Amino acid sequence: MVKKILALFMAGVMFVCCFCLNTSAADLADYSMTDAQWAEYWDENKDNFSQMQLYVGADESELNFCWHSKKSGDIPKVRIGISENMEVYSEFEGTYKNHGDYQANYVTASGFEEDSVYYYSFAVGDGEFSEPEMYRTLKSDSFKALYISDVQAGIDDNGDYATYNATCWNKVLTTALNNNYDISFILNCGDMTNSGESNLEWAATMAPKALRNLPTTATYGNHDRKGDTYKYFVNLPNANKALSTTPDGDEYYFRYGDVLFINLCTTNYNVFDEYNFVEKAVSENPDAKWRVVMFHHDVYGPGHHAGDNDTKLLSAVYSAICDKFDIDVCLTGHEHYYGRSYFMYDDKVVDMDYTQHKAVDPEGTLYFTASSAGGRNRMYDEPFSYEWLCFEYMSEELTYSTIEFDEDTFSLNTYDLEGNVIDYYTIEKTSSDFNEFDTDDGLLNTNAIDRLLRNFTGEYYVIFEALYNVFDIVKSVIASLIS
């Protein structure tokens, strides 16, 4: 018995020591397939919505897991090891939600060191653990992420579930990884599926093999809102369960190095929730040098949605939030073709030189719109020419973007699948200081309503502007009389 106890103790010591030692991180596999290989793989997996999906954790030391299994009521478990044989591992238990005849399993693992290689295996209850899969970490002080949107997997014209969308998404992901070995995670700006109610659509979104080894984010889009499957297929950090007053997708945030990523839910009609959540995320991460907001709707986008009334409403609210909290970059989707705004502040274009594709300590926020990673790019007879739009790329071609951060710079590069650069931009920061804000303020203390009136009244806004000026004069007179 003593020997057994000593053996277990030594195994634990070995695991702790090995877990804390960095090793040289391995490259991800080459996930490329011929058309025939993909067709065979897809035929085997098109109905498999139980595949493991990795999600980012609260910071670079965490990793979230989500998968489906037959309903059993047993606790899901994930083991993290430092070698493929899994002789030494740490085990993490999670929770589950019943989803029809299945249960959705959620586990969070922690203790990951940067620039290291790990292996994970998972099971439910006393069931057999899966074959180990690799997970690697890279540096967090400078890193690269893949930025995409709108896989929007759904029924094809021929009635098949998402064959075309899954094929396009796999091409985008494998090409991006083959050309960028140092991608740490995926930033997905939403519309994960088309109807929001089919498990088989999620099978397509989760199909690419690379997703067994590479974590992603998720964003609640207008198509996801059509059904109720989203919550069963995502496991997100710092979710807004306590603050949210609607049943929509939870807002969440995570920290990676010096970058704070805040993911918002633009289908949430209670926009006060969104304001409060950004304030909470920023207040809890005052030392983050960069602030990035993600949501689905493109408030300064390149296509027809920008003229919709709901987008005008969203633009007024979310641009005011971005200004209030000094957001550097806003990543969106929804429009199904690529666009980059000018720097926007107070719902107006910031006057500066845009010819150099670089800005140093700029005022305002830069807004990006991703094309459709699922091959659903929109085409119009003529591109839209909005006053906020600096660059647009309307094409049926599949594209993707990478974003890179280091201590002083943010860079975004957008490519087609042939490797041609479509667009690029860099922001350099010489200071990490942000404007202070009063936590007693709220959304109504911004000029969101003023922006809303501007957006909806157009040239007639001067009437409201005159009334504002008269009101200010009256307030000043009353204040002077009182004093």
Residues 371 and 224 reside in one and the same domain: yes
Mean pLDDT across 476-480 = 59
Residue 158: pLDDT band by 50, 70, 90 thresholds?
confident
Q: What is the CATH number of the domain that holds 74?
A: 2.60.40
- Residue 212 in tokens: 């067994």
Residues 464 and 324 reside in one and the same domain: no
Q: Is residue 434 part of a domain?
A: no
Q: Taking a C-beta distance cutoff of 8 angstroms, is the pair 111, 98 a contact?
A: no
- Paired with 123 in beta bridges are 77
Residues 223 and 293 reside in one and the same domain: yes
- Residue 281 in tokens: 């995320």
Residues 116 and 209 reside in one and the same domain: no
The values of phi and psi at residue 311, to 5°, are -70, -35
Q: Is residue 212 part of a domain?
A: yes
Residues 104 and 201 reside in one and the same domain: no
pLDDT value of residue 183: 98
- Residue 184 in tokens: 């740490």
Which helix (H) or strand (E) is 79 found in, with range?
A: strand 76-81
Residue 461: pLDDT band by 50, 70, 90 thresholds?
very low
pLDDT at 243 over 60: no
Model confidence pTM above 0.75: yes
Strands 102-110 vs 358-360: parallel, antiparallel or unpaired: unpaired
Cα–Cα nearest to 379, from 418, 348, 338, 327: 338
The four Cα atoms 266, 268, 274, 276 give a dihedral, to 10 degrees, of 180
Residues 159 and 131 reside in one and the same domain: no
Out of 136, 156, 171, pick the residue that ends a domain: 136
Q: Is residue 211 part of a domain?
A: yes
The values of phi and psi at residue 306, to 5°, are -60, -25
Residues 342 and 474 reside in one and the same domain: no
Cα–Cα nearest to 397, from 419, 370, 375, 423: 375
Residues 309 and 330 reside in one and the same domain: yes
- CA 108 vs CA 59, 122, 237, 253, 420: distances in Å: 12, 12, 9, 15, 38
- Paired with 77 in beta bridges are 93, 123
pLDDT at 20 over 50: no
Mean pLDDT across 1-23 = 40
Residues 351 and 460 reside in one and the same domain: no
Cα–Cα nearest to 59, from 281, 255, 260: 255
* 246 DSSP assignment: S
Residues 127 and 148 reside in one and the same domain: no
Q: Is residue 31 part of a domain?
A: no
Q: Over the chain, what is the mean pLDDT? A: 89
pLDDT at 306 over 90: no
Q: What is the CATH number of the domain that holds 151?
A: 3.60.21.10
Q: Is residue 418 part of a domain?
A: yes
Q: Is residue 41 part of a domain?
A: no
Mean pLDDT across 206-215 = 97
Residue 452: pLDDT band by 50, 70, 90 thresholds?
confident
Whole-angstrom Cα distance, residue 155 to residue 157?
7
pLDDT value of residue 477: 56
pLDDT value of residue 6: 37
Whole-angstrom Cα distance, residue 478 to residue 483?
9
Out of 85, 114, 136, pick the residue that ends a domain: 136
Whole-angstrom Cα distance, residue 92 to residue 88?
14
Residue 2: pLDDT band by 50, 70, 90 thresholds?
very low
pLDDT value of residue 469: 58
Q: Could you tell me what percentage of the chain is helix, strand and coil, using 3-state DSSP and rounding each to the nearest 5? A: 30, 30, 45
pLDDT at 125 over 80: yes
Residue 360 in 3-state DSSP? Answer: strand
- What is the number of domains present in the chain? 3
Whole-angstrom Cα distance, residue 278 to residue 276?
6
Cα–Cα nearest to 16, from 97, 109, 111, 149: 111
Mean pLDDT across 328-343 = 97
Q: Taking a C-beta distance cutoff of 8 angstroms, is the pair 256, 143 a contact?
A: yes
Q: Which domain holds residue 130?
A: 2-25+63-136
Q: Is residue 44 part of a domain?
A: no
Residue 102 in 3-state DSSP? Answer: strand
Q: Taking a C-beta distance cutoff of 8 angstroms, is the pair 105, 96 a contact?
A: yes
Which helix (H) or strand (E) is 2 found in, with range?
A: helix 2-20
Mean pLDDT across 82-101 = 96
Q: Is residue 37 part of a domain?
A: no
pLDDT value of residue 173: 98
Largest CA distance in the chain: 89
- Residue 439 in tokens: 């936590």
Residues 400 and 460 reside in one and the same domain: no
> HEC profile for 251-318?
CEEEEECCEEEEECCCCCCCHHHHHHHHHHHHHCCCCCCEEEEECCCCCCCCCHHHHCHHHHHHHHHH
Lowest mean pLDDT among 4-13, 269-278, 348-357: 4-13
469 contacts: CB under 8 Å, gap ≥ 6? none
pLDDT at 388 over 70: yes
Out of 83, 116, 136, pick the residue that ends a domain: 136
Residues 333 and 389 reside in one and the same domain: yes
Whole-angstrom Cα distance, residue 254 to residue 262?
7
